[in-house]
Amino acid sequence: MSKRTIWIVVAVVAVIAGIVIGLLVFAGNADDTATASPTASAMATETRLAAESPTPTLSATPTPTPTAVTCDTISTDDFRDMMAENGFVSWETTGEQIGARPFDAFPDGPPADQIVCRWGDGPEVATDNVIDLAWAPLPSADQSGTQDYLISQGYTRSHNDATVLISVEGGDGYLFTASDVRWAPQADYLQYIQSPDAAQ
């Protein structure tokens, strides 16, 4: 075989190899294009659907705001109306040396967050013409020792549905509910005391 024939064979092989390589490259690009096109289309569809779908809004469950413990929130509307008719105003006397301290003698001491309120002509007026009411949170699990203590001091106990009344005949009284204790200088006045939450 002559050199010229060898060069022709090499040239033909090179041309064929170039054509094959070119076809492979073209086929690969065609596959990439075919693959890229649906992906881009799918992404465009997802973007469009996301834009059309309403975005869910997360709303936090509202936490109830605890009612402030004040003379107004522990007393009933009827009681405050009666006091207003008498021209009485209210003020807090919790912890003062002068005035009612109905929870101080409890075996575990006065409950946290107790409040003692007085209605009268005003804190600056020296008079005995006043009415005191008191309220304190006290879970039922913590009540038995306190009730027993009051009984030992001469009070009598009576039950009424979910409440326990401990009182002295003709005198002051304590009303125990499932979650609190209420005090009034006369047991009849216990009807005018409420849980602060009832004021909402």
Residues 80 and 30 in one domain: no
**According to the model, what pLDDT value does residue 176 have?**
97
Whole-prediction pTM value?
0.67
Q: Does residue 65 sit within a domain?
A: no
Residues 42 and 139 in one domain: no
The most distant pair of C-alpha atoms in the chain lies apart, rounded to whole Å, by: 141
Which of these, 118, 132, 115, lies nearest to 181 by C-alpha position?
115
Cβ atoms of residues 151 and 131 within 8 Å: no
Give me the mean pLDDT over the 38-66 stretch.
50
CA atoms within 13 A on the CB side of 127: 12
pLDDT single digits (tens) 147-190: 999 999 999 999 887 899 999 999 999 999 999 999 999 999 99
Q: Does residue 18 sit within a domain?
A: yes
Alpha-carbon distance 70 to 100, whole Å? 16
Average pLDDT, the chain: 80
Q: Which helix (H) or strand (E) holds 175?
A: strand 173-176
Residue 36 has pLDDT above 90, yes or no: no
pLDDT single digits (tens) 67-86: 799 999 999 999 999 999 99
Residue 126 has pLDDT above 50, yes or no: yes
Residues 170 and 87 in one domain: yes
Cβ atoms of residues 153 and 142 within 8 Å: no
Domain of 3, in residue numbers:
1-56
Identity (one letter) of the amino acid at 142? D
